[in-house]
Amino acid sequence: MARLTVLSPKTPQVVSQVPPLAPRPRRSREVTLGLAIHLALLLLGIGAVARLIPHLQQQQVRIEKLDSEVAQAEHRVGTLRHRFTASFDPQQAETMMMSAAQRLYPHQKRIVWQTRPAEASSIPSTHHE
């Protein structure tokens, strides 16, 4: 860039000119070295992430399996809790004891349903001899 000195408002004069900056080889080596280091760190990071991906997938499979086992266990706990509550409920205690012993009140009768085999005489025959 040129430096201007104004002697009068109408006529500017150029006093001296600053030479353009020469490229610095040391600065470019620093930049290249910095870029190389950052590139190496980037490649190391990518490699580490690539090694972690299979481990992450295995962990997700394990978590899904554990979630299904937890759901089954919660269902079983709910069933057992219901049975426990029914077994120790004073209002249902007599009913539970009777169902476990298969007993009835004295005024009740046991009903047993049976299927009756088809009788040959009740089926009308279509043959006439």
List 6's β-bridge partners, or say none. Answer: 12
Q: What does the pLDDT read at residue 89? A: 77
Q: Structure pTM?
A: 0.43
Secondary structure (DSSP) of 70-105: HHHHHHHHHHHHHHHHHHT-TTTHHHHHHHHHT---
Q: With CA atoms as reference, report the closest residue to 12 among 22, 21, 2.
A: 2
Structural contact between residues 96 and 86, judged by C-beta atoms closer than 8 angstroms = yes
Cα–Cα dist 73/78, whole Å: 9
pLDDT given at position 42: 97
Amino acid identity, position 52: L
pLDDT for residue 127? 54
pLDDT at residue 113, rounded to an integer: 83
Cα(52)–Cα(46) distance, integer angstroms: 10
- Whether 96 and 87 have beta carbons less than 8 Å apart is answered as yes
E strands present in the chain = 2-6, 12-17
Residue 115 is predicted with a pLDDT of 86
Is the Cβ–Cβ distance between 4 and 15 less than 8 Å?
yes
User: What pLDDT, on a 0 to 100 scale, did the predictor assign at position 52?
Assistant: 95
Q: In the prediction, which pLDDT does 70 show?
A: 97
Per-residue pLDDT of the chain (129 residues; tens, 9 = 90+): 555 555 555 655 555 676 666 656 678 889 999 999 999 999 999 999 999 999 999 999 999 999 999 999 999 999 999 888 877 777 777 777 777 766 667 777 777 788 887 765 555 555 554
**In the prediction, which pLDDT does 58 show?**
96
